[in-house]
């Protein structure tokens, strides 16, 4: 696979697939420009090289039809302001309008095309639609890591029809950091896996157990493992149909000499609410009508120790219901442990990212992935179709 800095782009028409799937407020304005900012390295580099930069993205799920609330038009002024350069918005991504706009571009110009998903061919990875996109450009750059686990015309089929294809700087970072952490890591390598359900993360657990030295499991999913070990988990989240699988994973960890850390104490409440009465109990003492909503202080201490002495850390999923203050200490203190470790730390998944932002310590984590689903699929050991298409 080639990277952007390995291909000739000067004077070329360069199509850049970005992820501008930004949250919008009720009046149709961009609520958070993080994803737009994430594209700036690649777009600025291309401008400086004298490329003509054609930027395309999806927004929301318009399902192959033009739906005004999913128009990318409100993103153009935000993008222009960040780039300090006027970015004309073109209200289609293929056809005469798009071709004419591209033909009028000069070196260093940038245009933003309308939502790719207004055409049904996008999500179907349709070759005819991909060929229409390919007509706009000489070089194709994929910088939309967050959608690279789904084959679409603008990230997979298009690579068949553009002679020069490469990964942009954001995609490069994602792949390089992930490979550093999971490919040939400095050891010990610890994975922290949390979140609500075992069923969502089972493939992740099965894959990482073959690679890590330590597996730290918290969040709602820990209770399925505790139940599999014979503990009463009360009203905690527990997937009874996953108990056998949880047992198999525990056995595998033992056979492979992987340190498998589960909570030893938990913060419990009768209801998952911010004003609920809470107690800290040993995992042997969870009452029937109470639920575990965070890891307890003894667990925080052992988890933190395992994390602080690791040299590489991969993290997906919060360790408790961190959105509510009484259940946030576990996740937040593990952020401190990761920061204190000095280890290469890679974090992915929307909730984990939100939790780390809440602590204000995002810039002290080596890398926070821009992809939720795509990051999980990498952790599952899968090859992402849009990345494979660049190979
Ligand atoms: P996931 O998307 O699978 O990473 O799950 C994230 C969600 O899991 C967050 O919204 C947390 O509030 C929730 N969560 C974490 N720990 C618990 C728990 N012990 N009980 C219920 N929900 C939890």
CA-316 nearest atom, ligand 1: 4
- Return the best residue to mutate from 191, 227, 318, 328 for the ligand 1 pocket (most ligand atoms within 8 A of CB): 318
All domains of the chain in start order, with CATH? 4-170 (3.40.50.1260), 177-379 (3.40.50.1260)
Please tell me the distance between residue 209's alpha carbon and the centre of ligand 1 in angstroms: 21
Cα separation, 154 vs 150, in Å, equals 11
Instruction: Evaluate: CB of 348 within 6 angstroms of ligand 1.
Output: no
Give the pLDDT of residue 350.
79
Give 82's Cβ-side CA count (13 Å radius).
19
CA-222 nearest atom, ligand 1: 19
CA-293 nearest atom, ligand 1: 19
CB neighbours of 227 closer than 8 A, spacing ≥ 6? 233, 238, 240, 243, 246
What are the residue numbers of the active site? Answer: 35, 197, 350, 373
Instruction: Evaluate: CB of 126 within 6 angstroms of ligand 1.
Output: no
- Return the best residue to mutate from 225, 322, 334, 351 for the ligand 1 pocket (most ligand atoms within 8 A of CB): 351
Please tell me the distance between residue 221's alpha carbon and the centre of ligand 1 in angstroms: 8
Cα separation, 74 vs 30, in Å, equals 7
Instruction: Give Cα 231 distance to the centre of its chain.
Output: 33
Give the pLDDT of residue 119.
98
Residue nearest to atom 1 of ligand 1 (CA): 195
Q: For residue 142, which of 153, 152, 151, 155 has the smallest C-alpha distance? A: 155
Instruction: Evaluate: CB of 320 within 6 angstroms of ligand 1.
Output: yes
Q: Which contiguous run of DSSP H or E holds residue 252?
A: helix 243-255
Instruction: Evaluate: CB of 371 within 6 angstroms of ligand 1.
Output: no
Give the pLDDT of residue 262.
98
Q: Which residues of the chain have pLDDT under 70?
A: none
Residue nearest to atom 12 of ligand 1 (CA): 321
Q: Name the CA dihedral angle for 292, 294, 297, 303, rounded to a multiple of 10 degrees.
A: 110
What is the maximum alpha-carbon separation in the chain? 71
User: Starting from the edge strand earliest in sequence, which strands make up the sheet with 13-17, in order?
Assistant: 89-90, 110-113, 52-56, 13-17, 139-142, 164-167
pTM value is 0.94
| Token pair belonging to 384 | 């992402």
Q: Look at the block and give the residue holding tokens 């995002």.
A: 362
Please tell me the distance between residue 317's alpha carbon and the centre of ligand 1 in angstroms: 7
CA-223 nearest atom, ligand 1: 19
Instruction: Evaluate: CB of 323 within 6 angstroms of ligand 1.
Output: yes
């Amino acid at each position: 696979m080639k990277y952007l800095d390995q291909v000739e782009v000067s004077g070329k028409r360069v199509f850049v697939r970005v992820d501008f799937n930004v949250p919008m407020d009720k009046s149709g304005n961009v609520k958070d420009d993080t994803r737009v900012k994430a594209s700036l390295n690649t777009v600025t580099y291309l401008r400086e090289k004298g490329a003509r930069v054609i930027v395309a993205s999806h927004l929301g799920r318009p399902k192959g039809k033009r739906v005004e609330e999913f128009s990318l038009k409100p993103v153009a002024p935000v993008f222009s302001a960040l780039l300090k350069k006027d970015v004309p918005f073109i209200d289609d991504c293929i056809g005469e309008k798009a071709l004419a706009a591209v033909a009028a571009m000069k070196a260093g110009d940038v245009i933003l095309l309308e939502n790719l998903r207004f055409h049904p061919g996008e999500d179907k990875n349709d070759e005819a639609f991909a060929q229409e996109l390919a007509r706009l450009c000489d070089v194709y750059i994929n910088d939309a890591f967050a959608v690279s686990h789904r084959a679409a015309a603008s990230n997979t089929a298009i690579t068949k029809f553009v002679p020069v294809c490469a990964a942009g700087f954001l995609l490069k970072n994602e792949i390089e950091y992930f490979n550093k952490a999971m490919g040939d890591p400095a050891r010990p390598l610890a994975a922290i896996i949390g979140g609500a359900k075992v069923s969502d993360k089972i493939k992740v657990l099965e894959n990482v157990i073959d690679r890590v030295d330590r597996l730290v499991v918290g969040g709602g999913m820990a209770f399925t493992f505790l139940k599999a070990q014979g503990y009463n988990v009360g009203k905690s989240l527990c997937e009874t149909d996953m108990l056998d699988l949880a047992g198999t994973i525990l056995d595998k960890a033992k056979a492979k000499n992987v340190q498998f850390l589960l909570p030893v104490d938990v913060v419990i409440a009768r209801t998952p609410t911010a004003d609920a009465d809470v107690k800290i109990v040993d995992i042997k003492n969870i009452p029937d009508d109470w639920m575990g909503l965070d890891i307890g202080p003894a667990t925080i201490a052992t988890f933190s120790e395992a994390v602080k002495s690791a040299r590489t850390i991969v993290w997906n999923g919060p360790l408790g219901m961190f959105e509510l203050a009484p259940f946030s200490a576990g996740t937040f203190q593990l952020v401190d442990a990761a920061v204190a470790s000095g280890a290469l730390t890679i974090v992915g998944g929307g909730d984990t990212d939100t939790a780390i932002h809440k602590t204000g310590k995002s810039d002290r984590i080596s890398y926070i992935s821009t992809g939720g689903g795509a990051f999980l699929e990498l952790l599952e050991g899968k090859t992402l179709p849009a990345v494979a298409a660049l190979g």
